[in-house]
Amino acid sequence: MPPVIDSETCIKCSKCVEICSEDVFYGSKKGEVPTVTYPRECVHFNGCVSVCPVPGAIRLRIPLPMQLVYREAEPTS
């Protein structure tokens, strides 16, 4: 399940594009809302969500088998 980007709140900083090790956002241009080009390549390591400066602008849809072992990260100070 690929990342979901809220185009209303996205500030088009491309930090998610830069951190994605699997190139899920391939071809996305800086200054535009990133495009999920290769959704099946997403490995759900949550880097894109972590680096996003706008809370809620990007989220992951965790596949059911992964939900069984998935746990939200505890906030850091």
What's the CATH number where 39 sits? 3.30.70.20
Instruction: Check residue 44 and give its pLDDT.
Output: 81
φ, ψ (nearest 5 deg) of residue 51? -85, -10
Query: Looking at the domain assignment, is residue 7 inside a domain?
Result: yes
pTM: 0.76
Number of domains in the chain: 1
Instruction: Check residue 54 and give its pLDDT.
Output: 96
Phi-psi region of 8 (alpha: psi -120 to 50; beta: other; left: phi over 0): alpha
Instruction: Check residue 28 and give its pLDDT.
Output: 95
> What does the DSSP 8-state code read for residue 74?
P
The domain in which residue 11 lies consists of 3-67
User: Which residue, 62, 25, 67, is CA-closest to 43?
Assistant: 62
Going residue by residue through the chain, which has 77 residues, state the pLDDT in tens, using 9 for 90 and above.
788 999 999 999 999 999 999 999 999 999 999 999 998 898 888 899 999 999 999 998 766 665 566 667 777 76
Query: Looking at the domain assignment, is residue 54 inside a domain?
Result: yes
